Amino acid sequence: MFVSLLNFFFNFYFYLLFILAVLVLIPLFTLYVALTRTFSNHRSTMRRFRRAMVWWGKTVAFIPYPFIRFRYELNGENDTKKSYIFICNHRSAVDAFLMKVLPHEFVEIVNDWPFKIPVLGIFARFAAFLDIRSMSHEAFMAKATELLGQGVSIVFFPEGTRSVDGRMGSFHSAAFRLAVETGTPLVPLCITGNEIVMPKGSLFIKPGIIKIRQLPPLAADDFTGLTPFTLKSRVWKIMEQELSAMESTL
């Protein structure tokens, strides 16, 4: 009974501050970017806007501390001047917010639902997040290639939907086709603990530790001559083995 009551107040506290962060910080960040746009070009404005999203994400991540803690582990290079294609497993609705750990300028590839969220959806559109369901393949590849050419990294959740039982689902091919066609390094990003903090089908948050492990990138030379199908199978196996290792130490 006491634990249930404590969890209730924890969730009330979190969602209250989360809503305040949405209603206050997002308009403030947007106003800041809008005002500074007068003194910079479009490219600089977009970079500043995407960084503002990361600031907001870090603020939200701080709200539930120490009940929810994040551990970010970096293995390999992390050159913020280069663009990468990040490949992430997907277990929870909080996964999109977890990308705040990345020090890169990035956009996320999403389905249409994030754009329907009040305020947040508008912010995501302004940051040029890509709705893969509403775009033709040609339009998507052209826009993604343009972003990579500008030094913007792209975050994919190639399973397409959240795992129900924690096991990683099969990958769609778009991220790997993009990597093969553009020669952009692929970076696996393995996440565990997120399925406990917010299980699929629930908005109730539970205390826990979320571990995010960034693996070494696969450079273009590592997948020269591979088809997108072969490449996605290789990355899936790398991530499946790493997730098993991470979970064995929890």
What proportions of the chain, in percent to the nearest 5, are helix, strand and coil?
A: 50, 15, 35
> Residue 4 pLDDT more than 70?
yes
Q: pLDDT averaged over the chain?
A: 87
Give me the pLDDT at residue 2, please.
58
pLDDT bin (cut points 50, 70, 90) of residue 3 is low
Residues 46, 28: Cα–Cα separation, whole Å: 16
Q: Which token pair is 72?
A: 């970010």
Looking from the CA of 220 toward its CB, the CA atoms found within 13 Å total: 9
Q: How many CB atoms lie within 10 A of CB 66?
A: 6
Higher confidence at residue 113 or residue 143? Answer: 143
pLDDT bin (cut points 50, 70, 90) of residue 243 is very high
Percent of the chain at pLDDT > 90 equals: 41
Q: How many CB atoms lie within 10 A of CB 24?
A: 10
Q: Which residue bears the tokens 């390999």?
A: 76
- Considering only CA atoms, give the Rg of the chain: 18
Contact status, residue 229 vs residue 124, Cβ threshold 8 Å = no
> Residue 71 pLDDT more than 70?
yes
Residues 28-39 have pLDDT tens digits of 877 877 787 777
Task: Report the pLDDT averaged over residues 5-13.
Answer: 85
Q: Which token pair is 95?
A: 């996964």
- Name the nearest CA neighbour of 105 among 153, 57, 145, 40: 153
Residues 214-230 have pLDDT tens digits of 999 999 999 999 999 99
Give me the pLDDT at residue 139, please.
92
Q: How many CB atoms lie within 10 A of CB 62?
A: 12
Residues 203, 12: Cα–Cα separation, whole Å: 11
Task: Report the pLDDT averaged over residues 141-168.
Answer: 91
